[in-house]
């Protein structure tokens, strides 16, 4: 007989879905666990729900989550199955995690004593045996990834891939090839981002706090099953936009992690706020945003080759976009485009990694693709911030003028205003002063 356990109707537990620099790993771990449950019990798992960042970093429920119990005055955890704490920390010393283990062990018994409690590690603990941790911190268990009691950040996606392969090998062998599994993985990854987007949208619309919304806006496993069972062979443009969204957030997360010793807390908060702004966009808004920071690219998403060759890449985001956002002060505007205003001039970030030996090719790309991407930049004088390049007037270079005039005649574009390129170091002196 299952007992009913509940807590007073206080605000829902903590929520950090707005802190992105580690959220991706947390979300990937949650998806891995969800897929393992599906792999182990394909029928029973259909009823489960994944809750993000409320009861803990994530939790599994047997059915939907409600704000109140049947008595009407408490939060109901009676159908909670497990709660999971995730630590993406580069430390092999148990002392790094000891306080968190203790807090998880001491969680109030009234909250959910029947719920299994798991601790996920990205690094192997080397100075304390796992069986001793289990003995001392019962009922907390270190989560086991097959034979390992940790999963490195760089390994979680391959583990998800392997688990999908296991599922398809049993339930649909026609889908058990690498290309199809990768596509499935992208679709399922997007479920997490979409869920977070909905939580923030509801918050902005005044429907509740983020932590209370995160508590009830769970991800039904049925949505994962829909992806597993449907035919994903004919991916459409919206699919590739969702890939852009996932990659873009991943690039930002990588930039922060790679430069963590160089970024202060204020800058991390700033970069996280930009990430939130980007993640909350609809597919159409995200498409417009990407085009505004990469007007030199064709930005096509009609098929896998276009997505790979014609959209913004990791190096361009890291070198041209993120480093600019990191080193410059807060932007003055986010809508309709991110920009800074200094001494009456408008400055915009350009996601490019091209150096001074590639000036002509960059200007030519802007001339050929710019208007298709973002007409606003051509409607008034604008200055694009690049890592290294300074050009007074992009469209008046001999190599670009003819190309731009041809495009203007073909597209019936009105006469453009002056467009300049400025190197980041010079822009810092003007904008941060």
- Give the angle subtended at the CA of 40 by the CAs of 121 and 101, to the nearest 5°: 25
User: 95 or 26: whose pLDDT is higher?
Assistant: 95
Residues 236-253 pLDDT 10s: 666 777 777 778 877 887
Same domain for 223 and 241, yes or no, is: no
Q: Name the pLDDT band for 367 (thresholds 50, 70, 90).
A: confident
**Mean pLDDT in residue range 24-36:** 92
User: 414 or 360: whose pLDDT is higher?
Assistant: 360
What pLDDT does 4 receive?
Answer: 28
Query: Helix, strand, coil: what percent of the chain each, to 5?
Result: 50, 15, 35
Same domain for 193 and 48, yes or no, is: yes
203 has a pLDDT exceeding 60: yes
420: CB partners within 8 A, 6+ apart: 381, 382, 383, 384, 391, 392, 393, 394
Same domain for 99 and 172, yes or no, is: yes
Residues 309-327 pLDDT 10s: 677 889 999 999 999 999 9
Nearest to 116 by CA among 145, 86, 80, 148: 80
Same domain for 197 and 86, yes or no, is: yes
Q: Name the pLDDT band for 291 (thresholds 50, 70, 90).
A: confident
Nearest to 364 by CA among 391, 396, 392, 403: 403
What pLDDT does 144 receive?
Answer: 97
338-341 long-range contacts (CB < 8 A, ≥24 apart) are 338/274, 338/292, 338/293, 340/431
**Domain that residue 411 falls in:** 237-431
421 has a pLDDT exceeding 70: yes
Residues 324-358 pLDDT 10s: 999 999 999 887 789 999 999 999 999 999 998 89
Same domain for 124 and 157, yes or no, is: yes
Asked which of 229, 247, 277 is the last residue of a domain, the reply is 229
Asked which of 208, 229, 250 is the last residue of a domain, the reply is 229
What pLDDT does 237 receive?
Answer: 63
Query: Considering just the CA atoms, what is the radius of gyration of the chain in Å?
Result: 24
282 has a pLDDT exceeding 90: no
Same domain for 183 and 243, yes or no, is: no
Instruction: Tell me how far CA of residue 22 lies from CA of 16, 87, 88, 326, in angstroms.
Output: 10, 9, 7, 18
**Mean pLDDT in residue range 359-371:** 83
Angle between helices 156-171 and 221-229 (to 10 degrees): 60
Same domain for 53 and 157, yes or no, is: yes
Contact between 220 and 191 under an 8 Å Cβ cutoff? The reply is no
Same domain for 73 and 154, yes or no, is: yes
Counting residues of the chain whose pLDDT is more than 90, the rounded percentage is 43
Residues 144-201 pLDDT 10s: 999 999 999 889 999 999 999 999 999 999 998 998 999 899 889 888 877 877 776 6
What pLDDT does 18 receive?
Answer: 40
Asked which of 200, 229, 258 is the last residue of a domain, the reply is 229
224 has a pLDDT exceeding 90: yes
Same domain for 258 and 305, yes or no, is: yes
CA distance 49 to 17: 17
121: CB partners within 8 A, 6+ apart: 87, 89, 97, 142, 143, 149, 150, 151
Residue 1 is assigned to a structural domain of this protein: no
User: 256 or 23: whose pLDDT is higher?
Assistant: 256
Rounded to an integer, what is the distance from CA 258 to the centroid of its chain?
Answer: 16
CA distance 152 to 89: 10
Q: Are strands 80-87 and 74-76 parallel, antiparallel or unpaired?
A: unpaired
Contact between 76 and 247 under an 8 Å Cβ cutoff? The reply is no
Residues 379-395 pLDDT 10s: 778 899 999 999 888 87
Q: Number of structural domains, the chain?
A: 2
Residues 123-146 pLDDT 10s: 999 999 999 999 999 999 999 999
């Amino acid at each position: 007989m299952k007992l009913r356990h509940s807590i007073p109707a206080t605000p829902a537990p903590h929520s950090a879905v707005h802190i992105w620099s580690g959220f991706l790993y947390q979300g990937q771990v949650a998806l891995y666990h969800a897929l393992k449950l599906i792999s182990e019990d394909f029928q029973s798992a259909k009823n489960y729900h994944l809750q993000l960042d409320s009861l803990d970093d994530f939790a599994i429920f047997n059915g939907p989550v409600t704000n109140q119990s049947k008595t009407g005055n408490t939060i109901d955890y009676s159908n909670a199955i497990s709660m999971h704490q995730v630590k993406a920390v580069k430390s092999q010393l148990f002392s790094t995690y000891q306080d968190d283990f203790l807090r998880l062990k001491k969680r109030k018994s009234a909250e959910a004593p029947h719920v299994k409690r798991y601790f996920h590690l990205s690094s192997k603990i080397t100075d304390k045996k796992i069986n001793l941790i289990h003995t001392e911190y019962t009922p907390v268990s270190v989560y086991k990834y097959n034979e390992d009691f940790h999963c490195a950040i760089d390994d979680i996606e391959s583990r998800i891939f392997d688990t999908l392969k296991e599922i398809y090998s049993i339930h649909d062998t026609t889908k058990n090839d690498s290309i199809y599994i990768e596509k499935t993985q992208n679709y399922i990854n997007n479920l997490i981002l979409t869920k977070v987007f909905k939580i923030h949208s509801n918050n902005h619309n005044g429907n509740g706090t983020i932590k209370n919304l995160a508590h009830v806006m769970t991800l039904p496993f049925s949505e994962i099953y829909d992806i597993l069972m449907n035919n994903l062979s004919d991916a459409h443009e919206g699919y590739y936009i969702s890939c852009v969204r996932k990659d873009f957030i991943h690039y930002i997360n990588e930039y922060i992690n790679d430069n963590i010793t160089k970024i202060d807390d204020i800058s991390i908060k700033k970069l996280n706020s930009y990430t939130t702004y980007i993640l909350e966009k609809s597919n159409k808004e995200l498409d417009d945003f990407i085009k505004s920071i990469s007007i030199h690219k064709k930005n096509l998403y009609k098929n896998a080759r276009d997505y790979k060759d014609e959209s913004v890449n990791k190096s361009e985001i890291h070198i041209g976009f993120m480093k600019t956002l990191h080193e410059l002060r807060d932007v003055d505007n986010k809508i309709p485009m991110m920009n800074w205003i200094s001494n009456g001039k408008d400055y915009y970030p350009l996601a490019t990694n091209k150096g001074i030996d590639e000036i002509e090719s960059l200007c030519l790309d802007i001339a050929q693709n710019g208007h298709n991407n973002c007409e606003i930049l051509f409607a008034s004088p604008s200055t694009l911030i690049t890592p290294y390049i300074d050009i007074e007037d992009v469209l008046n270079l001999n190599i670009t003028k003819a190309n731009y005039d041809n495009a203007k005649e073909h597209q019936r574009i009105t006469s453009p205003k002056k467009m300049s390129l400025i190197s980041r170091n010079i822009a810092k002196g003007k904008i941060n002063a």
